[in-house]
Structure 1
């Protein structure tokens, strides 16, 4: 099963991005997981830029989505809302075919952010009928240093939790 994990953070030292890379490392041989950590590099959405060809950064993201069996999104909360970079990425995808019917789940690297998560759930349920609200991974990494994050996610219980999450998502992505 091939997953694409999209980080909604433009921050280089993002805990959500670090969590996605940890998830990538935890993936067993049956799963591959690529991390897209470049939402900050996408141009600001404009319908005028969609045709005839979108900007190359958008085309690359769309191809990565098309090639994936499922999407995992992880995002910080900014002012109790979806960060602008992630919302911009979603805006680029909303009128494209790559995301329609694509299985999507959420992961989150903080003990807080529930307001943003609720907004994101609403947006993703609109974007794809295959958004699974119940399948959710949450690791408490907020305010940890990169070294502390590495130690935290390498703990056996977190490795097992991440593997179970990926296995459950793979079952969800599998054709019925």
Structure 2
């Protein structure tokens, strides 16, 4: 699969919807990186908590540094991999705020996006994410959507990546995302 990319390997930006350091969603994203084929580049955006509250008036002038950083990373990525918790049957406010900062930019439309879910019970947030992302013209890759139950245990990414039941699910979701990334055009 990767030979179609030549020397330019696909770059996946991960966005974790949780601000918790020990988030099961962050663990899921790190586990995906560990099982990725050699050559796939992962970048983890960790600045969600640094974003100011969304204000469209700010977009008229220079963007705050954390917002400019987020947009630049989304723009440079070939695909986005999101894992987000559900709070009160919806998207956490801090994560929705991050998505709102992308609405006025050119970076997200058409970009392939996969939704990984660390709790199969969090279906309302996943549905809300799908609605928001499609409204923003992201290319939500349904075949890449996975849901696994990580909430029951406090596991490390290595343990998730090597778990005989979880690894094939992660591989399937990641393969579906990689399959829709367009190789770079030559010349």
Q: TM-score, normalised by structure 2?
A: 0.86
State the match for 1:7 in structure 2: 16
Matched residue SS, 2:62? coil
| Local SS of the residue matching 1:50 | helix
CA RMSD of aligned residues (A): 1.9
Q: Structure 1 length as normaliser, TM-score?
A: 0.91
The answer to whether structure 1 residue 140 and structure 2 residue 178 are counterparts is: no
Question: 1:168 maps to what in 2?
Answer: 176
Instruction: Give the Å deviation of 1:132.
Output: 2.0
**Which consecutive aligned stretches of 4+ in structure 1 deviate over 3 angstroms post-superposition?**
none
Tell me the residue number matched to 1:154.
162
Q: In structure 1, what is the Cα distance between the partners aligned to 2:139 and 2:159? A: 33
Give 1:27-106 correspondences, 5 Å limit.
27-106=36-115
Q: Secondary structure at the match of 1:165?
A: helix
Q: Which moved more, 1:22-31 or 1:160-169?
A: 160-169
| Structure 2 unpaired stretches of 5+ | 1-9
Contact conserved, 2:91 with 2:129, CA < 8 A, in 1?
Answer: yes
Q: Give the secondary-structure state (helix, strand or coil) at the position aligned to 1:107.
A: strand
Structure 1's unaligned 5+ residue stretches are none
